[in-house]
Amino acid sequence: MSMSKYTKICISACLLVNLSISQALETAPVVYKTAVSHFYLDGIVEAIKQTTVSAQTSGKIEKIFFDVDDYVVKDKLILSLNNTEQLANVKKSEAVIKEAKALNLKARQEFARIKTLYEKKLVSKSSMDEARAQLHATNARLDAAEAGLTQAQEQLSYTQVLAPYSGIVIERHVETGEVVQPGMPLVSGISLEHLRVTVNVPQSLINKLRQYTKASILLPETNQVVAAQNITIFPFADPYTNTFQVRLDLPMGIKQLFSGMFVKVSLVTGQKQKLMVPAKAVVYRSEVTGVYVVAKNGQISFRQIRSGGENGEETIIILAGLDEGELVALEPIIAGVLLIKQRKESQGD
């Protein structure tokens, strides 16, 4: 049967409508991408820098400048000890150096005098040897005195206890007026800028973790994903749990984490090529998940799909319902409106 002129005009008009619809929509192709398999475990946040500052000299505590939960900047004065004894030792050492320098000067002058006389054969060799020995002795005494001053100054500096790094005070072990001895703990602190997560990984997964060496942490509340900067796998398993301890170093400056918190750890355990579409192309209607497919001729249709979940990078894995190369609309709301318009125009309304 031959096609009438009127029918040909209607078909051409419908094609033009469909082409204008497809041009108005932003689309993306269904493509194969690498899908990553994850295994989730619970981990514990730890501070990499966690230190107890101990006394390095004896003395009575005069003043404590920071308490628990206070933030301390690196090299800031934490507490001070009474330095009367240490200061006296410094002055004593300085006096010993003055005496040693005077004796050394006298010995050098005497050695120079004896040497001149010895060269003129006016004194015996024993006198020359005695003058040389006296000079060596005063040199050694001066070196010892200078070492004693250095030690005394070091002990004096220990009366001013400084923060080894910037962090938060978590425990104070002493009170003002307390007498401390070397080795006695004073203050404990941690740095929240350098954190890591410790997780126990089953032995069935440890080889996969060694193979892919990729892991991330899900931040509490926000579920923001933070990639581990470095992964350390302990080379032995716990004989009671058959798990391997793994440490994940985190980037600096994560504000939501504190030492002792539980977090979800995502370990990469495999990779496989799977069909994917952008996440913004997928729509959810009650229990139906679907996308708007745009054909080459501009025809729009709603297609139900079976999703395999998110794959990161704002993509969704497609298990069924789409083929590679098909185009999906990236603006589902506009695609829905245009689909209704398309149906009406095809029905001649």
In a domain, 4, yes or no: no
User: How far are the Cα atoms of 63, 88, 276 from residue 319, in angstroms, in the given order?
Assistant: 68, 81, 9
Question: What number of residues does the chain have?
Answer: 349
Same domain, 262 and 134: no
User: Is 246 within the bounds of a domain?
Assistant: yes
Q: Kindly state the tokens that stand for 12.
A: 């051409």
In a domain, 297, yes or no: yes
Instruction: Look at the block and give the residue holding tokens 């001013």.
Output: 160
266 and 210 assigned to the same domain? yes
Q: Rounded CA gap, 64 and 78, in Å?
A: 6
∠ CA(125), CA(126), CA(130), 5° rounding? Answer: 120
Q: Calculate the CA 170 to chain-centre distance.
A: 20
pTM here?
A: 0.62
Binning the chain into helix, strand and coil, the percentages to the nearest 5 are: 35, 40, 30
Q: How far is CA 326 from CA 28, 267, 278, in A?
A: 8, 32, 13
b/e string for 67-91 if b means 16 or more Cβ within 10 A? eeeeebeeeeebbebbbebbeebbe
Longest dimension (CA), the chain: 147
Residue 201 inside a domain? The answer is yes
> Is residue 5 in a domain?
no
The domain that holds 279 is classified in CATH as 2.40.420.20
Residue 77 in any domain: the answer is no
Instruction: Report which of 98, 56, 102, 63 is spatially closest to residue 81, judged by C-alpha positions.
Output: 63
Examine the domain organization and report whether 44 and 55 are in the same domain: no
User: Are 320 and 306 within 8 A, CB to CB?
Assistant: yes
Structure tokens at 68: 């628990």
Considering the domain architecture, whether residues 55 and 186 belong to the same structural domain is answered as: yes
Q: d(Cα 199, Cα 133) in Å, to the nearest integer?
A: 67
Asked if residue 12 belongs to a domain, the reply is no
286 and 223 in a single domain? The answer is: no
What is the rounded distance in angstroms from the CA atom of residue 94 to the CA atom of residue 87?
A: 11
Report the CATH number that the domain containing residue 113 is assigned in CATH.
1.10.287
In order of 105, 115, 195, 266, 285, the CA distances from 229 in angstroms are 61, 70, 11, 14, 39
Residue by residue, DSSP assigns 164-231 as: SSSEEEEEE---TT-EE-TT-EEEEEE-SSSEEEEEEEEHHHHHHHHHH--EEEEPTTT--EEE-SEE
9 assigned to some structural domain: no
β-pairing, 27-29 with 230-237? unpaired
- Would you give per-residue pLDDT tens digits along the chain (349 residues)? 344 433 333 333 344 444 454 456 888 888 888 777 888 999 999 999 999 999 999 999 999 999 999 999 999 999 999 999 999 999 999 999 999 999 999 999 999 999 999 898 888 999 999 999 999 999 999 999 999 999 999 999 999 999 999 999 999 999 999 999 999 999 999 998 889 999 999 999 999 999 888 999 998 878 788 899 999 999 999 999 999 999 999 998 888 888 899 999 999 888 788 888 888 888 888 888 888 989 888 888 898 888 887 776 688 888 898 888 889 888 888 888 888 888 887 776 5
Same domain, 23 and 55: no
Give burial (CB, 10 Å; 0-12/13-18/19+) of 228: buried
Domain boundary pick from 239, 272, 305: 272
Give the count of domains, the chain: 4
Range of the domain at 99: 83-158
